[in-house]
Amino acid sequence: MTNQGIKTVLCPVSDLPAAKAVYAALLGVEPGTDTPYYVGFDVDGQHIGLVPDGGPQHMSTPVCYWHVSDIEAKFAELTAAGATVNEPVRDVGGGRLVATVTDTDGNVLGILQDQN
């Protein structure tokens, strides 16, 4: 099983148009995905997503997603090591699977697998 590192960071925002302007200025690019429910920027292999009001997962802080080759195995490994389930593995469309767990200090960790 291969970990491919942190490639995705999702940030909850309260004002999507204002946040989009700030992140476009910071990153120096316009968003590649621009919808009322999600704005995403891709820069140098890194994806930064803006999630209005924390989205359906009720995010209150940014969440980093480690890209993995086998999400089910990594999810089992994390929970066996003491992490608690925050959001079980689910398909978010386009063959992308995501899950989140909470570490022993309350930090939310994300894992992501693209099915290519």
Break the chain into its structural domains and give their ranges. Answer: 3-114
Nearest to 11 by CA among 71, 63, 80: 63
**Tens-digit pLDDT profile for the chain (116 aa)?**
566 789 999 999 999 999 999 999 999 999 999 999 999 999 999 999 999 998 888 889 999 999 999 999 999 999 999 999 999 999 998 899 999 999 998 999 999 999 86
Q: Which segments of the chain are extended strands (E)?
A: 3-13, 33-35, 38-43, 46-52, 63-68, 84-93, 96-102, 108-114
- Class for the domain spanning 3-114: alpha beta
Which residues, 6+ apart, have CB-to-CB distance to 69 below 8 Å? 1, 2, 3, 4, 113
Cβ atoms of 60 and 54 within 8 Å: the answer is yes
